[in-house]
Amino acid sequence: MGFLGSLLGIIGFGIGIPIGILLGFFIFIYFEPRDVKDLDTNKSLEDYDSSTLIDLLPKLPLWVMNPDYERVDWLNKFIHDTWPYFDKVACGIIISTAEPIFPEYIGKFQIKSIDFKHLTLGNLPPKIHGLKVHESNENQLVFDLALRWAGNADIVLAIKLLSLEITVQLIDIQISAATRIILRPFVPTFPCFASIVVSLMEKPQIDFGLKVMGGDIMAIPGLYQCVQEVIRKQVAGLYLWPHTYEIPILDCSLGAANKPVGILRVKVVRAKKLLNMDFLTTSDPYVKLSLSGERLLAKKTSVKMNNLNPEWFEDFKMIVKDPQSQVLQMHLYDWEKFGVHDYLGMQVVPLNLLIPYEKKEFTLNLLNSMDPDDPHNKKPRGQITVEMTFVPFLEDSKKFSGILDYEQNESSHDASEKISLTGTGLLLVTIIGAKDVEGKNHNNPYAMILFRGDQRTTKSIKKTRNPIWNEEFQFVLEEAPVKDLIHIEIISKRRRLGFMSKESLGHVKINLSDIVYNGHINEKYYLINSRDGIIHVDIRWKAQQAAAAVLHSSVPLLGSWSSTKHSPSISISKVKLSPKNAEYRDFSPSISISTKLQKLGQDFLLHLA
C-alpha cells in the first residue's frame, strides 16, 4: 500500500505541474488589464496632465534633457540608409559564429541537429538619442552614446530532438543602453585608431519575445521578470563600467599599436671557430644585435682584435614590444680600419622560446642567411653563445601568466609598489607638441630632452608657433627615477650664410617622483622664460616585475614546449641550434577582418553562455 501511495503521489505531481502552469497562464491572460490605452500622439503636451508628463520623461532623448548631449540626426540617417546592408552582414557573422558551436550540443540530450530556419534583424534600425564627447589629453577619443533599439528582429532556430522538430523563435528585441566608446590609441595607419573599447555606463534595459513551438513562454507568470533580470546581470557583469570589451582593429603585426611590454637582457658570451677573412692576420670580430620590427640602431659589442675564438661577456638591454613574434637578430662582422667590414655570419632566436624571468643560454651555429636553400649555409662558419632573459614590466606581467603559471596576489600592493620604486624599468617620454612658442628672430622649433646626462632631440619644424611632434623617447633605467628631474627645452634654430644660430623659446623641469608612484602623467606645462608658451608631454614609467617564481624547462628550438615549476632561483637552460633546426619562420600573423569578427563573435557568445 505504501508503494502504491508513493507511485500515485509521483504521478499526481507529474500531472499537477503542467496543469498548474496552464491554469496560471489562462488566469494571467484572463485577468490582464483591458483599460490600458496607447497615448494619442496627435495630442499636444498641454493636453496631458502632470503625472502623464512625468511618465514620459524617461522616454525623451537625452539631447532634450541634457545640454551636454548633441542631436545626431545625420548619424541616424546614415544608420537608417545602411541598415539593410548591415542586416545581411550581421546575420552572416551570427551564422558563421554560431554554427561552429552547434556541433558541441549535437548528441547531447538526444539532439540530432540545430539549424537556423530564419534569421533577420528586421527593417527597424537602432537610433542614437544623444552623443556626448569628452575632452581628454590622452591619445584617444571618448564619447558616450544613448542607444535605443525597438526592432522587429525575427530569429528562428530549429532543433531536431529525436524525430520531433522544435522551433525556438526570438522576436521583438528592445534594447536601451548608455554606452561609452573609446577609440584608442591614435596611430598613423588607417583607420587611425588601433582598437575600439566599449563599456556600459548603467545596466541596460533588455526586452524580447521568446516562442517555443509558437507558444509565448515569456507569458508564463514570473518567468519574464526572472529571465530579464538574469540577462541584465550577466551583461552588466561583463560590460558594466569599469569592465570593458575591446575590439582590436589593427593587427599587432603592423607595429602600429605595439607598446613596450618588457626588457630583453642579452649577454654575448663568446664565439668559436670563426672564419678568417684577413690575408696576413686573423679576423677582428664584433657582433651587432637588433630586434625584428624595430627601427632603432643596432647595438654593438666591442671589437676583439686578431681572435677567432673571442670572449665578450658584454650585457645589453633591448625593449620588447611583442615577445610572441619578435626575434633577436645577431650579425657578426670582421672589423676593418678602411673599407667595408667583412661579413662572418648570422643567427636569430625567436623570443617565444623564452620563459619570463628564466635565463637561457643558446649555442648557435652561424649561417650565411636564413634562407634554407642557401648553399653557403653548408660552409662551417663557427658558433656564437649568448644568454637571454625576458623580464616583463609590472603592469604587463599578467599577460604572460599562462607561460609562467604565475599568479599576482592583489593583496601584495606594498610589495609591488616597492618593486616599482626600486627596480629596473623603462621611462617613456612622448613630446606631443607645443603652443604659442615664439622666438625673437625665427620660429623653427624642436624639443630637447636632457635626463641623467642623456640628450635627445625631436625633429625641427619650420616656421610655426604651434609645433606637433608626437615623438617618443625611451630610457632604460637600473633604478626608478624617484628623485630625478627631466629637463625639456624648446629651441629654435636657423642656418644663414653657413652659420647656425639657436634661440631658446622656453623650458620646463618636471619632477618624476609623481610619475613613478602613479605610473603615468599626461599634462600641459607653461614654459619658463616664455610669455605664453605651453608644452604638452606624456610620460610613463614601466617598472619590471621581480621574479617571484622561476621555472625551468627543456625548450626545443621550433615547436611546442612545456614548463614545470622549479625552485625560486634563476636557472640556465642550454639550447644548441644547428642549420637543420634553425629554419626561419615568419612570426608576423596575418589575420583577416572576417576571421577577427568571427573570433569576437565567438568570444561574445561564450561570455553570455
User: Are residues 315 and 267 in contact, defined by beta-carbon separation less than 8 angstroms?
Assistant: yes
Between CA 602 and CA 247 the distance in angstroms is 13
Helix/strand number for the chain, H first, E second: 9, 28
> How confident is the model at residue 58, as a pLDDT?
64
CA-wise closest residue to 481 among 527, 430, 528, 421:
421
Between CA 201 and CA 235 the distance in angstroms is 12
Between CA 257 and CA 237 the distance in angstroms is 28
Maximum CA extent, the chain: 120
Task: Enumerate the β-bridge partners of residue 263.
Answer: 319, 391
CA angle, 104 then 108 then 112, to 5°: 85
> How confident is the model at residue 589, as a pLDDT?
36
User: Are residues 128 and 147 in contact, defined by beta-carbon separation less than 8 angstroms?
Assistant: yes
Pick 469 or 232 by higher pLDDT.
469
Between CA 257 and CA 293 the distance in angstroms is 13
506 pLDDT above the threshold of 90: yes
Ordered by start, the domain boundaries in the chain are 58-251+598-608, 262-397+549-577, 425-543
Tens digits of residue pLDDT in 441-459:
778 899 999 999 899 999 9
> How confident is the model at residue 563, as a pLDDT?
33
Provide the 3-class DSSP secondary structure of residue 546: coil
Q: Residue 241 has which C-alpha cell?
A: 563600467
Whether domain 425-543 has CATH 2.60.40.150 = yes
Between CA 573 and CA 578 the distance in angstroms is 17
> How confident is the model at residue 546, as a pLDDT?
56
pLDDT band at 559 (very low <50, low <70, confident <90, very high): very low
* Helix (H) or strand (E) run with residue 300 in it: strand 299-300
> How confident is the model at residue 64, as a pLDDT?
67
Question: Residue range 575-582: average pLDDT?
Answer: 46
% the chain with pLDDT above 90: 28
User: Are residues 308 and 274 in contact, defined by beta-carbon separation less than 8 angstroms?
Assistant: yes
Pick 260 or 485 by higher pLDDT.
485
49 pLDDT above the threshold of 80: no
Q: Do domains 262-397+549-577 and 425-543 have the same CATH topology?
A: yes
Pick 114 or 345 by higher pLDDT.
345
Mean pLDDT is highest, among 197-206, 419-428, 486-495, for 486-495
> How confident is the model at residue 419, as a pLDDT?
46
Between CA 311 and CA 72 the distance in angstroms is 68
Range in 229-238, 385-394, 454-463 with the lowest mean pLDDT: 229-238
pLDDT band at 44 (very low <50, low <70, confident <90, very high): low
> How confident is the model at residue 455, as a pLDDT?
93
pTM over 0.75, yes/no? no
Long-range contacts (CB closer than 8 Å, 24 or more residues apart) made by 252-258: 252/322, 252/325, 252/589, 253/322, 253/325, 253/588, 253/589, 253/590, 254/189, 255/293, 255/321, 256/187, 256/188, 256/189, 256/194, 257/185, 257/187, 257/194, 257/195, 258/293, 258/321, 258/322
588 pLDDT above the threshold of 50: no
The mean pLDDT of the chain is: 77
> How confident is the model at residue 406, as a pLDDT?
35
Tens digits of residue pLDDT in 376-390:
888 899 999 999 999
Cα distance between the two ends of the chain: 47
Pick 304 or 64 by higher pLDDT.
304
At the top level of CATH, the class of 262-397+549-577 is mainly beta
For the CA atoms of 373, 374, 379, 385, the dihedral, rounded to the nearest 10 degrees, stands at -90
Tens digits of residue pLDDT in 132-163:
888 877 778 898 888 888 888 888 888 887 77
Does the bond joining 61 to the residue before it have cis omega, within 30 degrees of 0?
A: no
Between CA 563 and CA 404 the distance in angstroms is 8
